Amino acid sequence: MSLAGRTIVITGGGRGLGRAFAEACAAASSDAIVVADIRADWGEATAEALRKAGADAAFLAVDLGDPKSIEAFAAEVEARYGRIDGLVNNGAIATGIGGKTFEEIEVETWDRVMAVNVRGTWLMTRAMAPLLRKSTLGGRIVNIASDTALWGAPRLLHYVGSKGAVISMTRSLARELGPDGIAVNAIAPGLVLVEATEYVPPERHRLYVDGRAMQRPQMPDDVTGAVVFLLGQGAGFVTGQLLPVNGGFVFN
């Protein structure tokens, strides 16, 4: 589970699961951590906390909805680090978009979710691929999907559709990047208690807790171990896989 010698990029790393992933990578002795986020206040706070804990961490701003921003981000990462060893595609629009039926979702909201969650994941992967190919330890990509795409969560079609696309993209990318020794996998967390899910109604939280094999709320630390494993040396021959991490709410 050691990430010694590895430089890891985490999108949406400023808060919630992204911050938990960054902290877990630091605890696993990652060589350097790049916290990527659209919010400078969140990103800087996370990077500063990691540095105070002894990690080599930096914040770099990126807007996953803006292709030029992703290109500029990639250029800055290359200039600073030369190569990377892992990419966690965590950044996504999730907050405040649920509750509407498929007939009520606005086209503008649909397009924004797809631009960030789907196109942004593709473009970030494309931008980081040349740097992952330079890894001497074996490149790793972990895409953060969602179990909503596995059980078909209602009143959330745009988000569910975007995460279903991420799952399919993971399998295709695994085949395209496999010849370069880059492993590409996805995890599908359940409803995790983070800032992004504070808007979720109590009845949806109860649905998850009552429906899990392990009937308790899901915390960020329940998810980080799977990501650290998939970023590390032991997962070098694991690729194209989807791992639900949700306490048994759905089985894959």
User: What residues are annotated to the active site?
Assistant: 159
Residues paired with 107 in a beta bridge:
none
| Three-state secondary structure readout of 22-64 | HHHHHHCCECEEEEEECCHHHHHHHHHHHHHCCCCEEEEECCC
Q: How far apart are alpha carbons 92 and 54 in whole angstroms?
A: 28
Task: Identify the burial level of 41 via C-beta atoms within 10 angstroms of its C-beta, where 0-12 means exposed, 13-18 middle and 19 or more buried.
Answer: exposed
- The radius of gyration of the chain's CA atoms, rounded to the nearest angstrom, is 17
Closest to 14 measured CA to CA, from 189, 143, 192, 196: 196
CA distances from 38 to 60, 95, 105, 160 (A): 9, 14, 24, 22
> Looking at this protein, which amino acid is placed at residue 187?
I
CA distance 179 to 182: 7
Burial (Cβ within 10 Å: 0-12, 13-18, ≥19) of residue 251? exposed
